[in-house]
Amino acid sequence: MFRQTKYHLRKHSFSSRVFFYILSFLIIAFLAIYLESGFKSVSFSSIFLIFKTVSFGEVSVYALYTFLRLCLAYFISLFLALFVVFVVTRNKRIENFLVPIFDILQSVPVLAFFPLIIVVFARLHLPELAAQLVLIIAMFWSVLFGALGGLHLIPEEIFDAAKIYNAKGIRLFFKVIIPAIFPNIVTGSILSFGEGWNVIIISEYINYGNIQISLPGLGNLLSVSAGHNSSLFLASLLILVALILIIDRMVWHRLTIYSERFKFE
C-alpha cells in the first residue's frame, strides 16, 4: 500500500509534517475562496477572519454530532454485514442467492433512494432516522463485501482444524471466522467511513421540494455557509479535514497495522 512507502507523510520529520498540513489547508482555502468569488478574485483575509468571527467551540460541537452520527451508522452497517456473513456461513445456498442481489443493489447510487427516504421520514417527523438511513445505505456495502471477500480467502485447512476441535456455530464464527476476516473488515471499514464522509452533507442538510430539514453537524454548516459566510465555511472545512486526519491516524492506521497479524501467509 502507498501508506507503507518511504514517501508517506509519517516518514517525514515533525516540522515537515506541519509544513505539509499548513500547505494543504492553504490549497483548500484558496480553492474554496476562489470558487466562492465566482472565479474572480482571492482574498486571503477570509482565512484570518475565521479566528475572529467564528466560534471554534461551537463548530467543534457540530463536529461531534457528525462524528457520532457516522459512528452510529457505521456500527449498524458493521453489525448487519457480520450478520449476513454469519448467515451465509450456515448455508452456501443462501450466499448463492443473496450475493447476486446485494451486488445489484450496491450498484444503485444512494441518491436514487434519497427522494423516497426524505418524503417518507419527513412525513413521520423523523429527520435523524432519514440521515441514518442515507448513511447506512452508503456505508453498508463496503464493509459487507470486504467481509465476504475475506471469508473466501480462509484456507480450507482452517475449517478442517476447527472441526477437529469441534468448533461449530457461534463458536466457529467468533473464534475462527471473525479473526480470519478481520483484515478485510478493516479495509472495508476504511472505505465505508469514506463513503459516509461523501454523503454527510446531503444527510444533514436536506432541501428537497418544500421539505427542508437541518441537523446539527459539519455537513449542515458547510451547506448553509457556502457562498454566504466564507469564514464559517473555511472553519467548518478545517475542522472536517482535521477530524478525518485524526480518525485516520488514531483509528484506521493503527487497526491496519494490528490486522497484519491475522493475515494468512
Q: What is the pLDDT of residues 236-258, one digit of tens each?
A: 888 888 888 889 889 998 999 99
Contacts (Cβ under 8 Å, ≥6 apart) of 85: 144, 147, 148, 151, 177, 181
How many structural domains is the chain composed of? 1
Instruction: With respect to residue 200, please indicate whether it lies within any of the assigned structural domains.
Output: yes
Domain that holds residue 111: 44-262
Instruction: With respect to residue 23, please indicate whether it lies within any of the assigned structural domains.
Output: no
Adjacent-strand bridge partners of 214: 205
113-127, 149-163, 226-240, 242-256: the lowest-pLDDT one: 113-127
Matching residue, cell 505539509: 20
> What span, in angstroms and rounded, lies between the C-alpha atoms of 105 and 102?
5
> What span, in angstroms and rounded, lies between the C-alpha atoms of 88 and 92?
6
Residue 184 host element (H or E): helix 178-204
Return the top range by mean pLDDT from 1-15, 109-123, 146-160, 183-197. 183-197
C-alpha cell at 162: 476447527
Instruction: With respect to residue 86, please indicate whether it lies within any of the assigned structural domains.
Output: yes
**Does residue 139 contact residue 190 with C-beta atoms inside 8 Å?**
no
Instruction: With respect to residue 39, please indicate whether it lies within any of the assigned structural domains.
Output: no
Query: What's 228's domain CATH number?
Result: 1.10.3720.10
Q: What is the pLDDT of residue 144?
A: 93
Instruction: With respect to residue 182, please indicate whether it lies within any of the assigned structural domains.
Output: yes
Matching residue, cell 452510529: 72
Instruction: With respect to residue 167, please indicate whether it lies within any of the assigned structural domains.
Output: yes
Give the rounded distance of the alpha carbon of 209 from its chain centre: 28
**pTM, 2 dp:** 0.83
Query: Looking at per-residue confidence, does 258 or 225 come out higher?
Result: 258
**Does residue 134 contact residue 114 with C-beta atoms inside 8 Å?**
yes
**Does residue 238 contact residue 25 with C-beta atoms inside 8 Å?**
yes
- Residue 232's alpha-carbon distances to 33, 53, 153, 220, in angstroms, are 12, 8, 47, 11
Instruction: With respect to residue 37, please indicate whether it lies within any of the assigned structural domains.
Output: no
Instruction: With respect to residue 82, please indicate whether it lies within any of the assigned structural domains.
Output: yes
Q: What is the number of other CB atoms lying within 10 angstroms of the CB of residue 137?
A: 24
